[in-house]
Structure formats: structure tokens, C-alpha cells
Structure 1
């Protein structure tokens, strides 16, 4: 500790060359409005050193840690003349004040050079794309726009960019609060957007401290047109169809520069989870719609939903945003599940048919307040609250069998009624010590979650090998589980040379878990659930305390950025199984957690980044609690209170190249994870561990799973995308591919098994830029999976999947609108009894109404061919599983929609479309 204290004194007192800051505001010379998203470049005289930033929503920019000397400032913004001016940096802050840009003179009466609109450019690790280069229909959403762009696609209902899931949406540099990325994008109309920026956003703490912490989020930032920052946009739709299908929804957006308010409401029974300005007739025309967090919605879903999103500036120093969402859902879902087990007894298989009815009622509230107190102090507070009530009913029929026939068969009926509360809050404060370059950042976060509920379970299991051991259960289950997590950190950084900085960080966190689960058997004599079933009951507490401390070194110069971090972590895991027996455990962990990040800019359009991180994770309370879960009697589970934390090594490598001269775009990335002490599953099929034998007996063909720590887990995948224009058909072309391999360890009857899965994928998409009246996108992606197991090589399995999509919108003669979407899914190598392929075809024909064409009546059909199915393959260390679920099939719907478009001093999208020349052209 004395050495560490001496190092801290040295860090504070080290001699330094103080860097300065350069700031200013970019605005339009004509209307004095700020220009967000403008590119500001600072070039050092007689040097290749280049610094670049983009302006925020007010048009403000700031360069940090600028060395004294002579510079040239350049400002670029689409549609405006470039501005240059010399800058002399000496001691103290350099405030350039307001810099005005002149609009380029592009009146039609002057000479025009007709050519191709540039796609965009690469600015360091930010890809900026020009929305004018991607034509969409007038009522298209931001989601329709970005899915035309290179490197952006929808996979399993989630939007991905450059191989990673998009986790955050911004508008003019301000976060769109909430976790539903797709909903956020569908509530921004494409005609509002000037530019689209794709980048890896820093965490709030990293942005405040200036040091990376490895918590980046793939982010899409929409820079809006200045004439679209004041006004209203929205949509109101009502529809009724066959089989009593209905939909009524509204979405209204209010914009007044920094103030933005979005209100949405929806009621329907056609599997829509939200409503937006980008909605299409009948709720279809978007393939498989995503729910909370994306993914594919299975079942028949009735939804009532209300939401409000708010963003504003309270004065000049306080930025706020928040959202509230209420949702009520009734979900009916039937599933067929087939598992082919990896086991010593080759041929063991499992079939399950289940019927599920879930009722969900949820309130979600998020808020964000950033207070820029002054130039040297910032405060950020981000609370969130979720209150949810779940009622479910599940009826399951399952059986296990092998080559000799059925071994066990189970009928199971379970109900549950759970109330869940989650509260999170984070307080982040940063202080800059004047112009000295020293920064102190503190962070404190809390998380409280509680689940209370009860349920009933009926089980009737037949043992075909020994009928005397068949089981009939009637039980009542009560659950009370509370998790309390808190953490705090403090880091201090300062300059340690002309291009270097040092940081010392201390972090402490605590996870407190308390779980009480009691199971009672029904007694015929008393007519009540009064007999406590001790083996199926448990009271468990755990306390996981971690502390870490360590230095970081950062180097920045010209084209290079390097950061090295080493943390020493000491953790204590205390657990106590208080009931049915008192069994305390305490374990200590000591780890060194290194990390490194390197970025090299070959040019303004090419860059390479390398990121290496290490981390530890504690087991969950469900994994630690040694209580039997026999909700599925043939697939029972039990926890393990002797689990240790795991240790992860993660590597990310990315290369980006955007050639603005020929509009060629290339991205490639590799992402890898290797885990020691991975929490795997030990599966027992012939006998159970001694400590479980007194409370549970395996049925023939049944399996008991228990988490255990194992080494040998690793997962690596790569992704590439190449995009370029196709001039001969006025479209954009994107070629993408992926290679991945995973190795999952597990144990089957005390024997180690490694499940290996290699995935090879390739595809392309073509999106039109012909005109605003014709909009199509064609895409296909194929993947081939090679699955092998080390324990039973004769149970290896290969399968193939291909997904092809066509989306076509056409504004016909006399304002008729034709829309169609086809999604073809082909599978080969799945289990027998699972539908291998299908064609989902949605179509509508509409007529624009009223003078301004803002109304539309349309007739749509969803799943015209009645082939819609849901198929999913899951691969684990002990089995390969195919799951087929209920989905919504064919229905017709008549819909009336009205679009609201009103901007201060701006024409409607329809008027703008009619005045622009057709074809894939632009003016320079």
C-alpha cells in the first residue's frame, strides 16, 4: 500500500506540459441557427497532425488537450461553403466565438452539374452517411432509410450496424431515452434527416474522464435538417380485418429545436408492440416485428400500449430526457420442441408440446439529467424504474424415448403470479481543475430488484420401466427474491507529458442477494397446501464484494491513440444456505485485470482499432441456490452453491475504409471471447449426485442439470461488409459475410464434452435509389453450421439456413400505392416434424387522399399464402434443439391512415418530391 501511495503522489506531482482547449459555435449565416453534425478539423502548420470533432445540437464544438502552436481550422457542412481560418493556441482557453457558414448557391436558374450524390465519409471511428444518397418514399421512417445503408441490416428483429447490434439512438447528438431502438427509429421520418452517423459511443463515465472503460455502445445519430427542427410529425391509423383482427394507433412528434416530445398509443391483436410514424397498412410490411429488445414475437398477441418520450434543454446548462411506457399484453403461444441429446446412450431424444398463456402488465420509466454546472464541473443523474405484473398458465406434455420406445411421459400444468420491481440509479460527477489538465471523476450507482410471487403445479409422470415409481404431485410454490447492488468509483487523471495522460482508478461494488423459495404439498386430509416439501425449498443469501485499483496510461499523437490499463481486483463471495440446513461458504478471489486499446488512423477515411479487455462475473442467485426446479419433471435443474466467478478475455479488432471519391465502403471486424471457470452444465442421465439422491430420483430418460465451473469456453466471429453504388440500375449494393466458431464445455454423467459449432455465412443486398416513387430492397443471407461433439461423434449434425427478403413500394398512377414484402426462409438439416421452409408474403394496395396527399385508405393482406411459421435451432453443450412456435397467419385488413406533417417554413414531403427531378441524381 505504501508503494501505491507513493505512486499516487508521483502521479499528482509529475512535471507536465499543459494542453489547452479550443472551442466555438458553428451557425448558418442566413438564419443564425446552429449547425449540428458539422465537421470541424484542426490542422497543425508544417505537420500532419490533424484533430477532428463534430458539433453538437447547438452547433458547438470543443477540442481538448491542444498543444500550443499555429493551426488552421476547417469547417465542412453539406450544403454550405467550407470555412477556413488561422488559429493561434497559447496559454489559456481559445474561444473562437460564433463562426458563420454561407449556404452554397444551388438555385435552379444557375448552371447545374448533375451527378451522383456522395454517400458520405469516414471521420475517424465515425461513419457519416448522406441521407440524400438513399431515396425512400415520402412516408418512410428512419428505419427504412438506414437499412439501405452499407453495413446496416436487420437480423432476428434487431438492427445491426457493422456486425454489432445497435444499442442506442441519438437525434442531433441527444440520446433518445429508452431501450427500444427499433421503435425510436420508426418514430423519426426519413424526410427529416440530413446525415446519419454510425459510431461506437463511449460510456458516460469514459466521456467524462477521457479514459476508455470498455463499455461502448453501437450508436446511430440522426442529424436533422435545420428546416425540420420546428413543427409536428405524426400518424393516426385505424384498421379492421378478417377473424376480428383490429388495430388503432397514433404517434405524434413535436419538435422545437432542442425540445422534442413523442406520444404514442396503440391497441391491437395483430402482434404489434408499438406504433410509430413509420407504420404501414395492417401492421405488416415489416416482416417479423420485434418486441422489447428485438427478436421474433411468437404466439398470438393482444397489446395495449401508451408511451411518451421527452427531450429538452432547461436553460443553457441542463439537458434532460425521459420516457414513460405502459404496456398490457395477452400472449397465447403453442410450441413444439424436439431435443436430440448428447449422451452415452446414443439415441436418447425428447419431445415436448406446450400451451402457454401469459398476461403481462408493465410500467417503465427512464430519466436522464445532465447539468453542465460550468466549464469545469458536470453532473449526470440517470434513474429508471420498472414495475411489472406477470400471470402465466403453462400446460406441457413431454416424453423421453430411445430406440426401444418411450421411457417416461409427463403431463404438467403450472400457474404463476409474479410481481417484479426494478429500480436503478446512477450519479456521475466530473471536475476539471482549470486548465491544468487534471480531472477527477466519481460515480455511484444502485440497483434494487425484487420478485414476489406464488404458483401452483400439477404433475403426472408415468414411468414405463417401473410403473410403481410413477409420480403424481399437487404443489403450491411461494417465492420472495431480492437483489441489492451498489457500486462506487473514483478516478483521477492528469497530463504526464505533451501527448500522454495518467489515471488512477479505485472501484468498489457489492451484490447482495436474498432468496426464499418454499414448496408445499397438498394434503387430502386437511384439504390445503400445508405440508412443507423440504427438498424443494430453500432460503439462500449471498454477498459478493469486489474492490479494484490500478493505473491507466494514455497516449495520443497525430494518427495514434493508445491506452493501457492494469487493475488489481480482490473479491469475496459469501453465501449461506440457511434452509433446510445452515451451510455457510466463503471464497476469496484475487485477479489482475489488464486491458489495452489501440487506434491508428491511416487517413481521415481509414482507421484500425484493437481492443482487449478482461472481466470477472459472479454466478447468479438461481445458479447458486441448491433448490430443485421440477417445473419440467423430465428436465429438472438444481443450483450449486460452490460455484466460483468466471474470468473473461475479450478481443475486438475493427478496420474501416470509406472512399469518398468512388463511394466504396469496406468494414471488417473480429470479436472473440475466451472464458476460464466458465459456468457450464453438468448433466446426469443415469444417476444423480449424492447430495441430491435423497430428494430426487431420475425418471427413465429424464435429465438433471447442475451448473459447474469448467475451462475451455471460447467464441470467435468475424464480419465484413463491402458496399458500392450500382450506377446502371441507380441502386446501392452491399456484400456481407461472416465466419464464427464457438466451443462450449459441459459434462454428461461425469464425462467432459465439448460442443463445437462453426458457422459460415454470406449474403448481399441491393437497395434502390431510382426515385421517391419507386423504393425496393432485395437481400439474402445464407449460413452453414457444422456442429460436432467430442463425446459422441456419431451425433454430429450440420444444417443450412437461407433467409431472402424483398420489399417493394411503388407510387402508381393517380396516387395509388402498392406495397409488397416477401420473406422466404429455407432450412435443411432440421429435425423431422419441423417445417423446413416457408414464404411469408404481405401486400397492400392504397389510395392517397386529400389535396396534400396526407390521408390514405388501403387494403392489406398479411401472410397471403398462409405459410408463416417460426423455427429456431438452439445448440448447447448437451443437446441440439429445434423449436417451432405459434405465429399469426393470414388475415385481411382495411386501414385508414392520416399523416401529420407541419414544419415551420417548410414544404410537405409530397410537395418536395413533386418539385425534385426524378432519377438518382444530385446537384453540386
Structure 2
């Protein structure tokens, strides 16, 4: 707390220093139709010394100047397509509201504004960064992903869209959520030409938005404000392609817009590792790389068939609905090699593996969201989801352990598994406001159910080079039935204490019940069936975890400051019962105080500081509690631990944002830290199996048994910085970012404590074109350096780094001729011998626009022209460092026909802006 005292005193000094300043506000609109003009440049010029202060109007045409001292000023407004506007303003002891200011249409205004400067890039509005889409030029066929990755602080890292150093988890259109699980797919299905502006902020949970109190459940969110003329009509793309090695792709994505009603239909069938199809696809399927679910380039050779429908609408004036359905079918073949260096008492102990995986998945996913705004005092929200999944897999694995003397053991095993699962979740949220009294009651109830049924056939042949008498030949059948049920309830009651503060009381109860039945049967030679029950490899376990918490929250909010503090007392009970391999029961109780706090200070419209502290607990999963041996990989067996406790997390974040509207410079810096007590770590045994797990089972030489245990000492601290500005020399935008992090992972090796410390830091540079719609390029480079140190065996410390550079060009040449190319170079240093250290991936296509308005295109493309594409990944744990190289899709040629669909009729503004950042309790009652 002492460390926070100095910054708080400095902030109070800032507030005092500007105590005699005032605000100047107004709204810019078109004189002809009175519509708001977002993104207009507004400059305030002081008459005494010609000092200039600039800003840009928001999505509703409003502008605001903070800290304006007494004196005479000139307001100067410029907007492309309108005449320049000036007005004299006198500030004398009070705020000034200029009201609506109307701009006259005029053709001469275009040249005049262009002389003054480029379009305003962005504006910082509290914790929200708002970017003006007009300031970023993209190709005619570009998607919203192409647009946002030109913006400062927004990048693609490991296949995931990141904003200000955090993964984007939610996408909204005009304040309404785009329902679905895949953020990248959603962004690629929005056309760049539809977008007026893009907002980046930390979206709150539905419960926090209803109650007005932040519950800490925030997700990085992108909100796309659409142009008025793009709110009615339809747009999309259809493509068909065929290439060498029988590579093929057929896909379609159609978007229909009618003001509040938005419908998106997508479909895809292919064998070129595409997981989805969108309006932003480029010919050949290889351009910009492919991405799997959750980001990252997909490994293996993948055949995919998908179909999806996304629906958003207003049913009347009070009911907002959204939902989606997705069908997904995938066949995957992936060959991998794995090199693992173990940390422990044996010098030079290694693990090597070659494997082949053949997987077939089929799933159906349904999501629905209905919000009913009954009246100004009552809101109701229901969000059910349902999914079905069937999986079949075949794994062939050859693995060995070895040390400096040679091979210790070798295993060949075959796993054939199939499973089916169902998952259901439903959340009901209700909030009532007691008129204008400032009192709000919010109630939340959630139910969840999942069921998994699976069968596995295991064949194992393990050879012991130290003691051949311990060779193992195993033929086993495993049946698994798992059922999980949970429910939770929450009640919040808040009361206004004054014009700027509120008090809330909260009670929460949560119950999770897990029931797992795993039974193993050995093959009986005399009957030819799996009838010999194997008790040591069987386990039935049922856990019941219930938590109750209650406590107060206090919130203070003014024009510049927001402060919130919470304190919860939580009482939890964990009960467990086991039948196999021997009866066991447990019951443990946990008591915790869970404090949290958040402080936010708004220096101005363009500068913002946010500091937050959160605490929470997490219970162990049924897999971690179930103490049954899993020998699907006999050289790396695993087991659960019924004695696990819940962990306790402390998280602290600091964010500072600023934007200079005169120079279009944007700066963001963030620091994020997590410390976990009773962290669920890995305890590794390399020689003997603990007595309670043994039951006659002995480890092969070099094999390692992993069991979860609670340990203190987990740390994860990282920082991220982003700086962006226009690069006028080549009409581009430049974005520089840097990061540094430290992770400390505790673990045990034969009951000796080891801490795996990983320090990583790096930089990144991105230059994106802003020349014209016909020339679109992006040049980026990212450097990442890692220092790995272990406290148990310091001679096994390791430093490594990688450098990834990427060049992407989209050039519309003479008479609709289009050239696209992408070069991606990856260099790795410090990896295991035997894996590829570097590669150059080169994709390109040459296309010709056809038909009216160049809506069609025929192209020839090549994926991985140099045939160097590889996939290498390094993994770090408390007891090992490993490198994994996987199968990837390599060179093929493809002919593609694509057709773009575009028809916009114009439209009215959405009838309801349900932006989840807006706090109901804060709009009235303060």
C-alpha cells in the first residue's frame, strides 16, 4: 500500500493543479440532413499565444476539450466533403457547451482539408481506444481483420488477434455481440468497407453491466461501428478451387443486413487446412496462413467440412436476440517427432518419440442469447448453449528413453479410441431497478451438464534393456463414463450513497458434482474377449465441491476518477468418494478472504490510467483428483491425486493509454502479474512408484510418472508496450511493440523441489501501407529471446531465441490484374539437434478481375513455393524442455475462381445500442 501512496498523491496534485480549468463541448453535424459527423478534426486555438489543442468527434459527432483555462479561443473544424468551419469562443469561469455545429456541403472543402493533413487516426475515450476507419486504406476485397491489423496495438500472434497485448475474446457490431466461439472467423466475416470506426476496450460480463459493479470478468473486445449506408443490404464471397495433389476448396460466406437484423451463413469443404471460410479469403487458401481453432497454424493434413449460421435481431423494441449454429467435421493425419530433455538426477536423460495420429471429429454447436428489456426498471437475459461431439482416433507411437550410456527402454504402442459427449449450459440473469431511488437488485442462476462416454483399445509392447524379465506385452480395453453437473446462484443488491458513490452487498453459491467411472479389462486368451477385470488400472471417483461467498463492494465515480473495492468471505467444501482400486473418501473445508480493488484516473480525453487487483480460487478437476494410472504412453504414465486443495490466485494489472490527436501518435503500456498459492504442480517420480499407486506396477528405466501436487511459488509477470504513428515518408503507419516477462513454475522431481524460471523478452515492428486501395502491404518482424533456468540442475539451463519476419503485398495492377505474395521467414536458435531451425514460407498468386465492377476473379496460386514449410514448437515445464516438429501442408498449385457479392441500400442507425460497457447502475442513480 505504501508503494501506491506516492502515485496517488501525485494524481491528487494533478487534480488540484487543474482545478480552475473548464470543458468546451459540442456536436458536429451535416447542415443538409442533420446527421452526426464522426471522425471530424476539431482544433481549439488560444488567441493569446496561438496554442493549439486537437481532438476528433466520436461516433455520435460529439467532441470535448478538457482543462481549458479562461480566455478567448477559436474553434476550427475540418471534415472531408464539407466546408471549413470556424467560431470564436469565450471561456470565463464556467464550462462552455457550443451545442450542434452544422457544416455546409462543399466541393472545395476536399482540397482544403487535404492540404491541412490526413484523416484523424484515433481517439482515446477513457478506457476505450476508438480508431477512425477512414484513416486506414485497405484493398477493395479486404476484411475487418485486414483493417484492424493496421491499427496501433492490434496484431496477430500465434494465429490469434491480440489488442494491447491481450487476446481478443469478443466481437461486437454496433454494440451488439457477434455470437460464436471463433473470434478470428467473426472478424474475417466483416467487410472493411462497412466499418466506420473500431473501438477497443475491456468488455464487462453481463452481470457487471446489469448491476453496475465490476466483477473482474473482463474480456478484450472489438466493437465495429458500421457506416449508415452499410446497414441495409447483403455482401459476401463464394470461391471454388482445385489444384495439384488433388487439393480442393469450395466455400461461401454471405452476410445479410437490415438495420438491426444481421444474418451470416458460411460453408466450406476442403483438404488444404482451412477451418473456416469468410469474406476476407484470398485465392488458394494459403495466403496469410491458415489458422486452427483457438489460433495457431494447424499441424497435419486436414480435411474439413463446415456449415454455420449466425443470427442477430431485435424482436420489437424490447427484445434483442442472437444465436448461431455450427456443424463441424474434420479428418486429420499428423506425424510428429518429439525430443525431450529431462531435468533430474540422471545425467543426459532424454526421451524421443515418433508418432502418427489419425483423428476424425464431428460436432454440432448451438448458442442463443435473448435479452428482454421489459421496461426502464427491469431486464432479463437468458443464454443457453448446447453441443454434441463424436470423436474417433488412432495413435501409433514409438518411444524410447536413453542416457549417456545408451537406450534404457523402448516402447511401441497402439491406441484406438472413440467417444461421444454432450455439453449443456444455461444462464439466467434478471435485474430490477427501484425507480429513481438508486437501488438495484440483480439475480443470476446458472446450470451446466456434460456427459462423456468413451472406449479405448490399448496394445503395448515395452522392452526393458536393463532387465529383459520386465518386458511388457499388454492388450487392454478401457471403458470410461464421466458425468459433470453444476449449478450456481448469485444475488446482488446495490444502493446509491450519494451523487458519486454506491454500496453493494453480494451473496453467491456454487455447486459442482463430478462422477467418473473408468474400468480396465485385460484380454483373456481362453475366451478371446476382454473379460479379465484389472482393478489397479480402474477407478471410480465422485467429487462434490460447493462454495458460498458473501461481502460488500464500494464504488466511487466522478468525471475523472473511478474507484471500486470489494471484499468477499468464501467458505468451500470438497468431498470425494472412490471405489477402485481401493475404497477411499475425503472431506476438506476451505476458508478465504477474497479482496479486490480497481482505480482508474482520466487525465484527459486522451490519457487514462487503470490499476486493478483481483483474487480468486480454483478447485482441482476430476482428472487431477482421480488417482488411477493412465498408461496410454507407458514411458510417461500419469495419475491423479485425491488430496489436492484448491489454489488461490492474486492478480494485479496496470494499464496506461494515451493518444495525441495532433500527431496521431498512440501509446499503450501494460503490466500484468499473477501469483498463485497452492498451485497445482507436477510431482515426477523416476525410480519408484509411490506405494498408494503401485499395486504391482513398476516404472520402466527412464520412464517418468507424473502426479499433481499443491505447491507455492508460482509467478507469472509480463509487460507489454505499443507505440504507433503515421509514417508520412511512405504514406504508411508504423507500430512498435515490446514485451518482457518472467514465469516461475514450481515442481518436484523424486521429492526434490525444482523451480523452472523462464525470462523472455522481445520486440516487434510493423509497417502497414496507407498509400491507396490498389497498393496494400504489410511488413512485420518479431524477435523473442528466452532464458530458461532450473534450480535443481543448473547445468541443464538453456537460452534460445526466434525471429519471425513477414512481408505481405496485395497489388492491383493494370486492368484488374492482381498480384499477391506473402513471405514468412522463421529462424530458431538453441533448439534440439534433429529439428529444423529455420524455414522460408513463400505463397503467391496472380489473378484477373472479371465481370461488371470487377466482382469476379480467376487466379493461379502456389502455396509454399520453396517447399520449406515446417512446424517447430518448444515447450517448457518444471521437469523438462522439449521440441516438437509436426507434419504441415507443403507445396501445391491451385486455380481459384472467386465472386464477390456487394449490395448496400443504406439504413437507419440501430434502434438500440446495447453496449456492454455501459453500466446500468451508473446511467441513473448517480
The answer on whether the counterparts of 1:761 and 1:783 sit within 8 Å (CA) in structure 2 is: yes
Partner of 2:651: 650
Structure 1 residues 370-389: aligned runs within 5 Å: 370-389=371-390
Structure 1 residues 147-162: aligned runs within 5 Å: 147-162=149-164
Partner of 1:391: 392
Q: Distance in 1 between matches of 2:567 and 2:265?
A: 46
Could you tell me how far 1:130 is from its partner in structure 2? Answer: 0.7
Structure 1 residues 217-616: aligned runs within 5 Å: 217-287=219-289, 289-616=290-617
Partner of 1:15: none
The answer on whether the counterparts of 2:32 and 2:104 sit within 8 Å (CA) in structure 1 is: no
Residues 1:816 and 1:582: Cα distance change in structure 2 (over 3 Å) = same
Q: Distance in 2 between matches of 1:346 and 1:374?
A: 72
Residues 1:77 and 1:744: Cα distance change in structure 2 (over 3 Å) = farther
User: Aligned residue pairs: how many?
Assistant: 846
Q: Distance in 2 between matches of 1:656 and 1:867?
A: 41
The answer on whether the counterparts of 2:823 and 2:842 sit within 8 Å (CA) in structure 1 is: yes
Q: Distance in 1 between matches of 2:261 and 2:708?
A: 50
Matched, 1:126 2:117: no
Could you tell me how far 1:139 is from its partner in structure 2? Answer: 0.3
Q: Distance in 2 between matches of 1:613 and 1:110?
A: 51
The answer on whether the counterparts of 2:31 and 2:105 sit within 8 Å (CA) in structure 1 is: no
Q: Distance in 2 between matches of 1:743 and 1:441?
A: 40
Q: Distance in 1 between matches of 2:451 and 2:103?
A: 57
Could you tell me how far 1:179 is from its partner in structure 2? Answer: 1.5
Residues 1:26 and 1:405: Cα distance change in structure 2 (over 3 Å) = same
The answer on whether the counterparts of 1:29 and 1:100 sit within 8 Å (CA) in structure 2 is: no
Could you tell me how far 1:107 is from its partner in structure 2? Answer: 2.9
The answer on whether the counterparts of 1:370 and 1:378 sit within 8 Å (CA) in structure 2 is: yes
SS of 1:283's equivalent in the other structure is coil
Could you tell me how far 1:36 is from its partner in structure 2? Answer: 9.5
Q: Distance in 1 between matches of 2:106 and 2:204?
A: 38
Partner of 2:894: 893
Residues 1:110 and 1:545: Cα distance change in structure 2 (over 3 Å) = closer
Could you tell me how far 1:455 is from its partner in structure 2? Answer: 1.4
Could you tell me how far 1:113 is from its partner in structure 2? Answer: 2.4
Q: Distance in 2 between matches of 1:588 and 1:494?
A: 33
Q: Distance in 1 between matches of 2:572 and 2:555?
A: 27
Could you tell me how far 1:108 is from its partner in structure 2? Answer: 5.0
The answer on whether the counterparts of 1:28 and 1:100 sit within 8 Å (CA) in structure 2 is: no
Q: CA RMSD in A?
A: 2.6
Q: Distance in 1 between matches of 2:253 and 2:703?
A: 51
Q: Distance in 1 between matches of 2:569 and 2:293?
A: 37
Partner of 1:912: none
Of residues 27-36 and 787-796 in structure 1, the stretch that sits farther from structure 2 once superposed is 27-36
Match of 1:189 among 181, 188, 191: 191
**Deviations for 1:808-857, whole angstroms, at most 9, x for unmatched residues?**
01011111000001111000000000100001111000000012100000
Matched, 1:778 2:779: yes
Q: Distance in 1 between matches of 2:86 and 2:327?
A: 48
Could you tell me how far 1:497 is from its partner in structure 2? Answer: 2.3
The answer on whether the counterparts of 1:830 and 1:836 sit within 8 Å (CA) in structure 2 is: yes
Residues 1:599 and 1:396: Cα distance change in structure 2 (over 3 Å) = same
The answer on whether the counterparts of 1:83 and 1:101 sit within 8 Å (CA) in structure 2 is: no
SS of 1:707's equivalent in the other structure is strand
**Deviations for 1:350-406, whole angstroms, at most 9, x for unmatched residues?**
000000000000101111111111001111111111111000000000000000000
TM-score normalised over the length of structure 1:
0.89
Could you tell me how far 1:756 is from its partner in structure 2? Answer: 0.2
**Deviations for 1:845-899, whole angstroms, at most 9, x for unmatched residues?**
0000012100000000000100111111000000001000000000000000000
Partner of 1:163: 165
Q: Distance in 1 between matches of 2:825 and 2:480?
A: 44
Partner of 2:794: 793
The answer on whether the counterparts of 1:37 and 1:223 sit within 8 Å (CA) in structure 2 is: no
Structure 1 residues 853-872: aligned runs within 5 Å: 853-872=854-873
Q: Distance in 1 between matches of 2:37 and 2:493?
A: 34
Residues 1:376 and 1:29: Cα distance change in structure 2 (over 3 Å) = farther
Q: Distance in 2 between matches of 1:391 and 1:408?
A: 29
Partner of 1:210: 212
Q: Distance in 2 between matches of 1:34 and 1:320?
A: 27
**Deviations for 1:554-579, whole angstroms, at most 9, x for unmatched residues?**
11122111000000000000011122
Gaps of 5+ in 1: 1-23, 41-51, 62-73, 85-95, 907-924
Partner of 2:664: 663
Q: Distance in 2 between matches of 1:176 and 1:39?
A: 31
Could you tell me how far 1:260 is from its partner in structure 2? Answer: 0.5
Q: Distance in 2 between matches of 1:417 and 1:104?
A: 69
Residues 1:904 and 1:409: Cα distance change in structure 2 (over 3 Å) = same
Of residues 693-702 and 504-513 in structure 1, the stretch that sits farther from structure 2 once superposed is 693-702
Q: Distance in 2 between matches of 1:689 and 1:31?
A: 80
The answer on whether the counterparts of 2:179 and 2:322 sit within 8 Å (CA) in structure 1 is: yes
Q: Distance in 1 between matches of 2:597 and 2:113?
A: 48
SS of 1:728's equivalent in the other structure is helix
Could you tell me how far 1:60 is from its partner in structure 2? Answer: 13
Gaps of 5+ in 2: 1-25, 43-54, 63-74, 88-96, 908-926
Could you tell me how far 1:53 is from its partner in structure 2? Answer: 14
Q: Distance in 2 between matches of 1:712 and 1:396?
A: 35
The answer on whether the counterparts of 1:352 and 1:396 sit within 8 Å (CA) in structure 2 is: yes
The answer on whether the counterparts of 1:806 and 1:821 sit within 8 Å (CA) in structure 2 is: yes
Q: Distance in 2 between matches of 1:293 and 1:655?
A: 28
Q: Distance in 2 between matches of 1:687 and 1:220?
A: 52
Could you tell me how far 1:285 is from its partner in structure 2? Answer: 1.0
Partner of 2:815: 814
